[in-house]
Structure 1
Amino acid sequence: MDLQGKKVLVTGAEGFIGSHLTERLVELGADVTALVQYNSFNNWGWIDTFEKKVKDSIHIVTGDVREYDGMSRIIKGQQIVFHLAALIAIPYSYLSPMAYVRTNVEGTTNVLEACRNYNVEKVIHTSTSETYGTALYVPIDEKHPMQAQSPYSASKMGADRMAESFYKSFDLPVAIIRPFNTYGPRQSARAVIPTIISQILSRKKEIKLGSLTPTRDFNYVKDTAEAFIEVAISNQTIGQVVNAGSNDEISIGDTVNKIVHLMGSDVEIVCDDQRMRPVNSEVNRLWADNTKIKKLTNWRPRYSLDQGLLETIEWIKQNLHYFKTDIYNV
């Protein structure tokens, strides 16, 4: 499949991964519609920071995936839909689990139903490595059992199953991409890497974090965006779940040490109780097996962790005003 001239919708286009994907789709010549969550401030999230030439080439619409009629109007006429809109903060899912069901499960169902009704050519649904929970074996392939260790992961499991059901029940051409831990420019301080970097840049001598022992499979956002593209253009991914990960793991503690080294800093790490997940909810190990995505697509990760971190550090340095380092972001 060639994306040149294709009518493409990105839900959650104003967000971290969605904004990078939107820019990449414009580069590839797609006719991009960006769905931004409606708000009275007419705020377009990260799209507001795009260069004018890029922004002017995008059709920006506001709406809410929780509302079917609006989704139906927006999806009509689209050929490819990248569905990224979701509530993603794990700590907030402990406080408001029903919000995650309504957005992630019901919202996804609205998108799928509209895509079915308008015969969309390809739907790329966004999953998460959190659906696997703590690794029962490594590296984690797509056959690994799913474990709901947080309301967030449970809601994404429900969304994934709805996507699977629309493929099996209605032949909707759905592919499910399951990114592991993406990081990079535009990520909020609810995530560990920008939390570390922004606190160091704010000249804090004590860096507040949660548990340091869990391992993660970190992936630079440009690699993740490229994985979305490759999953979209490959006919072999229809009806499939594919991991997008680096096939490597590093502990949070070692990640801190790496960032401290790259930034030439001298800081003390403090474990902050409010940043700790409930014991049985902590995902202790994530390490992706990326064999399947390499087999079904041309995707390969291009950025090393050091390369990605250096670019992220530089971006946060230039945009530190976006970060409230004295507040714990749930």
Structure 2
Amino acid sequence: MKLRILVTGGAGFIGTNFVYHLMKRYPRYQILVLDALTYAGNLENFSSEIKENPNFRFIRGDVCDAALVLDLVREVDCVVHFAAETHVARSIFDDRKFFKTDVLGTQSVANAVLRNKDQIRRFIHVSTSEVYGTALYQPMDEDHPLNPMTPYAAAKAGADRLVYSYWRTYDLPTVIVRPFNQYGPYQHLEKVIPRFVSSALLGEPLTIHGDGTAKRDWLFVEETCKRLDLVLHADDADVRGQIFNLGSGFDLDILGVARTILKILGLSENLITFTPDRPGQVQHHISSTAKAEAVLKVHPCTHFQEGLEKTIAWYATHRTWWERMLSMRRVEIVGKDGTFQYY
């Protein structure tokens, strides 16, 4: 089997890792990457070997460009839709672009899939665990109520439900995946683990929002790619119209993450500092993995410590990649009292 796959947002964090995964494991597949190359996308993520591969093609463009998206979807068998604005703090400062990209962009992709329904065998929409809000019960399964707590989460919830409606209305071959907190190579410094890692490598303070007790489920990005691979190649009867969490079932609070990074690097916990909590903070996320294990046959994943060691090693040897982002580790937002704050 030789698939032609459109990866939207493929020059971002998970998209980049997924493209590498596909091209290494399936060298005959044709991969089209569509990315607007905003601050979070980087064409330099791809090696010259990838760029020069005749089965790889990069298109710079916006998922809100419906005509462009339609033209690209006509060329492929599968669509994996990552393209989105994804940073919680940025959504608090400027939420309009989040709804434009995350909701209207998703509508462009879903409508293009609809117009090519007969040839598209799989449409994977990459949602987020943020649509759930704080856990009402643990672990959080795919039936957990949706209670988004930030503009970003609300935009992604809208896109999530939009794709679901296209499946219900048009019976499109959709699968929705909801990744929990991801980490690994190529992640922007605005996210907590690369922000902590870069600060530690520079000997700077690791700043924690609130008291550090907020817990997250952590999944190493290599494991994420393996699970997306399973979704992509699963039997249609098993996954069509389904939703799958992409999580590890392992949770650790933010303070524990900071301490672990410092311990791996042999640095003092005195580098940890605190700042007032971010508005809309989710207190606890932990994924149920039962459905993914039962349907996709997901196996136990990389231990958090091992994945973190690999991540730190990557950032330590790719300083030129992330040093240009140092000014973007903090984002200005509007607080509840109308004042501007940095997070």
Query: Structure 2 matches for 1:219-234, cutoff 5 A?
Result: 219-234=219-234
AA paired with 1:56?
E
User: Quick one: distance in 1 between partners of 2:297 and 2:44?
Assistant: 31
Tell me what 1:126 maps to. 126
Tell me what 1:64 maps to. 62
Query: Structure 2 matches for 1:162-173, cutoff 5 A?
Result: 162-173=162-173
AA paired with 1:245?
G
User: Quick one: distance in 2 between partners of 1:162 and 1:314?
Assistant: 39
SS at match of 1:209: strand
Checking the alignment, whether the CA contact within 8 Å between 1:173 and 1:238 is kept in structure 2 is: yes
Distance 1:46 1:299, change over 3 A: farther
Distance 1:49 1:301, change over 3 A: same
SS at match of 1:124: strand
Tell me what 2:143 maps to. 143
User: Quick one: distance in 1 between partners of 2:154 and 2:312?
Assistant: 32
AA paired with 1:8?
I
1:53 aligns with 2:56: no
Tell me what 2:174 maps to. 174
RMSD of aligned Cα (Å):
1.7
SS at match of 2:148: coil
Query: Structure 2 matches for 1:32-47, cutoff 5 A?
Result: 32-37=31-36, 45-47=41-43
User: Quick one: distance in 2 between partners of 1:96 and 1:51?
Assistant: 33
User: Quick one: distance in 2 between partners of 1:301 and 1:100?
Assistant: 34
Tell me what 1:252 maps to. 254
User: Quick one: distance in 1 between partners of 2:261 and 2:90?
Assistant: 26
Please state how far the C-alpha of 1:70 moved relative to its aligned partner. 1.2
AA paired with 1:14?
A
Q: 1:233-283 CA deviation, whole Å, 9 max, x = no partner?
A: 11211101100110111111111111111111013311123xx311xx110
AA paired with 2:330?
N
1:24 paired residue among 6, 9, 21:
21
SS at match of 1:60: strand
Tell me what 2:330 maps to. 329
AA paired with 2:98?
Y
What TM-score results when the alignment is normalised by the length of structure 2?
0.89
- Per mean C-alpha deviation after superposition, the further-off stretch among 209-218 and 297-306 is 297-306
Q: 1:85-126 CA deviation, whole Å, 9 max, x = no partner?
A: 000011111122121111001100100000110122110000
What TM-score results when the alignment is normalised by the length of structure 1?
0.92
SS at match of 2:219: strand
Tell me what 1:207 maps to. 206
User: Quick one: distance in 2 between partners of 1:326 and 1:61?
Assistant: 28
AA paired with 1:287?
I
Checking the alignment, whether the CA contact within 8 Å between 1:46 and 1:186 is kept in structure 2 is: no
Unaligned residue ranges in structure 1 (runs of 5+): none
Checking the alignment, whether the CA contact within 8 Å between 1:36 and 1:44 is kept in structure 2 is: no
SS at match of 2:282: coil
SS at match of 2:19: helix
Checking the alignment, whether the CA contact within 8 Å between 1:19 and 1:47 is kept in structure 2 is: no
User: Quick one: distance in 2 between partners of 1:38 and 1:139?
Assistant: 35
Checking the alignment, whether the CA contact within 8 Å between 1:177 and 1:242 is kept in structure 2 is: yes
AA paired with 1:255?
V
Checking the alignment, whether the CA contact within 8 Å between 1:127 and 1:178 is kept in structure 2 is: yes
- Per mean C-alpha deviation after superposition, the further-off stretch among 213-222 and 58-67 is 58-67
SS at match of 1:217: strand
Q: 1:269-319 CA deviation, whole Å, 9 max, x = no partner?
A: 11123xx311xx110000000110111113224311111111111111112
Checking the alignment, whether the CA contact within 8 Å between 2:92 and 2:151 is kept in structure 1 is: yes
Q: 1:145-196 CA deviation, whole Å, 9 max, x = no partner?
A: 0112000000011001110011010011000011110001111111111111
Checking the alignment, whether the CA contact within 8 Å between 1:202 and 1:325 is kept in structure 2 is: no
Unaligned residue ranges in structure 2 (runs of 5+): 332-343
How many pairs align? 319
User: Quick one: distance in 2 between partners of 1:310 and 1:8?
Assistant: 31
1:117 aligns with 2:119: no
SS at match of 2:135: coil
Checking the alignment, whether the CA contact within 8 Å between 2:11 and 2:45 is kept in structure 1 is: no
Distance 1:50 1:301, change over 3 A: farther
1:268 aligns with 2:271: yes
Q: 1:27-48 CA deviation, whole Å, 9 max, x = no partner?
A: 2232111112167xxx994442
Tell me what 2:73 maps to. 75
Q: 1:213-243 CA deviation, whole Å, 9 max, x = no partner?
A: 1000011011011111111111211101100
User: Quick one: distance in 2 between partners of 1:243 and 1:189?
Assistant: 24
Distance 1:22 1:132, change over 3 A: same
